[in-house]
Amino acid sequence: MTEPLNVLELFAGIGGLSLGLQRAGMRIVGHVEINAFCRAVLRKHWPEVPCHDDVRTATTWWRSKPRPRVDVVAGGYPCQPESLAGPRRGTDDERWLWPEMARVIHALRPRYVIGENVLGHRTQGLRFVLRDLDRLGYTARAGIVRACEMGAPHPRPRLFVLAHAHREGRPARRWLEPARTAPVGAGRWPAEPRVGRVVDGLPGRVDRVTALGNAVVPAVAEHIGRIILDHHQGR
């Protein structure tokens, strides 16, 4: 039986991406998340998975003790610099943290990379991400996936970047074509992540709303995970 792909998720939030990838058949081996409330949610749902608080020291943390190999580095690098609702300073914004994710990729050399961002990323920063992935030895493809296609009650379009190391075989050019965006498992489990009470009682409402607003819809993440697993298994 093939071993599951091990996932390290950066900018993990409350784990919507991890939940979907886990449902697809991957194994979550690490989280990196700066927000304390979100880390509490992660610890509640993945109590055995180590969690770190700073992407800038993620590589040092990961190598500080024996840990499993990392096959997939995934992350929704902060989208404020590209959000259509903000000033869109792009790569000039101090919150532009793709370079930190690129450093982790360079150090750990995963087989696959998953990036997630808002639609504004297409014109603010995406070309730098694709350029960096190519320089790091990855074939990448970017495309839009809508949550409503996976059973969510709202469109919530997001731009995903999928990449595989050049050594992993056939090109990924078909990964995000429209024919591959059919719903998976609609009605089988909730499309939206749930955030309950954690730690010492009720978290602040703002924390909960912010966490949900930033979360990846798990059904979308599962779909992305299955695309990668199909590629990995040669289908």
Which residue is catalytic, options 38, 51, 79, 148? 79
Strands 72-75 and 6-10: parallel
- How far, in Å, CA of 67 to CA of 33, rounded? 18
- In this structure, what token pair is assigned to residue 159? 């731009």
Residue type, 54: D
Contacts with 10 (C-beta within 8 Å, 6 or more apart), sequence order: 32, 55, 58, 73, 74, 75, 77, 100, 101, 104
> Is position 79 annotated as part of the catalytic site?
yes
What does each C-alpha distance from 154 to 29, 120, 183, 207, 214 come to in angstroms?
31, 18, 14, 22, 14
- How far, in Å, CA of 180 to CA of 117, rounded? 19
Residue found by looking up tokens 């608080």 in the block: 53
Residue positions annotated with a catalytic role: 79
